[in-house]
Chains A and B, each alone.
Chain A
Amino acid sequence: GNSVTQMEGPVTLSEEAFLTINCTYTATGYPSLFWYVQYPGEGLQLLLKATKADDKGSNKGFEATYRKETTSFHLEKGSVQVSDSAVYFCALTQPQGGSEKLVFGKGTKLTVNP
């Protein structure tokens, strides 16, 4: 079945540091890939997405590139801020299969210190 594996947290960085959160997936066919973020006390929010190989999703300085050859969708940001402290979830869905559901990874907690 489909699955998502993302790096274990927690991740602690200083402000302006470079961030990478690794995400790999297992799926048949051509899934769409997503990063969701959950800020403290809030629900999950879509951060960015990519729907086909080599697409790059970007938002709020975060980027992720859909790499079919390595089945990866790593999240990166060049310079993190304290306000980026949150839990980040990698997820996939398979529109071709008609499935409604998102398959999530475990989540990676990021703390950015001033």
Chain B
Amino acid sequence: EPEVTQTPSHQVTQMGQEVILRCVPISNHLYFYWYRQILGQKVEFLVSFYNNEISEKSEIFDDQFSVERPDGSNFTLKIRSTKLEDSAMYFCASSERSGGYTGELFFGEGSRLTVL
């Protein structure tokens, strides 16, 4: 069964360092997303991406965040200068149609980011 894969599963970094989290969405999907979950808190929407551009982003997704689809298969989230409060589990997701219409997103296992 097709699945969304994420790497790395866990990354530890120093405050101020750049981090890139990678995702391979399901191959025929057109919509891509990043969510995050700070320990003990809700899963929060960060950004959605369609047709090579951001279609929606939350207030969390400020200038230190960026997303890219550098080739036909990868979807990356870059955090330019990490802060302690960026420590969280980051989930990538993809869907065939707009998630706003079906809610059927396919999620990866998550990448745990720890900022020291």
Contacts and interface: CB of A to CB of B under 8 A. Distances in A.
Interface of A: 4, 32, 34, 36, 41-46, 49, 89, 91, 93-95, 97-107
5 contacts: A41-B109, A43-B106, A44-B105, A93-B103, A97-B100
A43 B91 contact: yes
Contact of A43 (B31, B45, B48, B108): B108
Given A44-B107, A95-B100, 9 more contacts: A43-B4, A44-B93, A99-B56, A100-B31, A100-B45, A101-B56, A102-B99, A104-B42, A106-B41
A39 B91 CA distance: 14
Nearest to A107: B43
A57 B39 CA distance: 29
A47 B30 CA distance: 22
Contact of A104 (B31, B44, B104, B109): B44
Contact of B109 (A34, A36, A42, A102): A42
B38 to A, nearest CB: 11
Contacts of B50: 100
Contacts of B48: 100-101
Interface string B17-37: 000000000000001010100
Interface residues of B, number: 30
Contacts of A97: 100
Nearest to A38: B107
Nearest to B104: A46
A45 B4 CA distance: 11
A37 to B, nearest CB: 11
A43 B93 CA distance: 9
Nearest to A103: B45
Contact of A100 (B4, B33, B42, B108): B33
Nearest to A43: B107
Contacts of B109: 41-43
A46 B95 CA distance: 12
Contact of A91 (B98, B100, B103, B106): B103
Contacts of B56: 99-101
Nearest to B108: A43
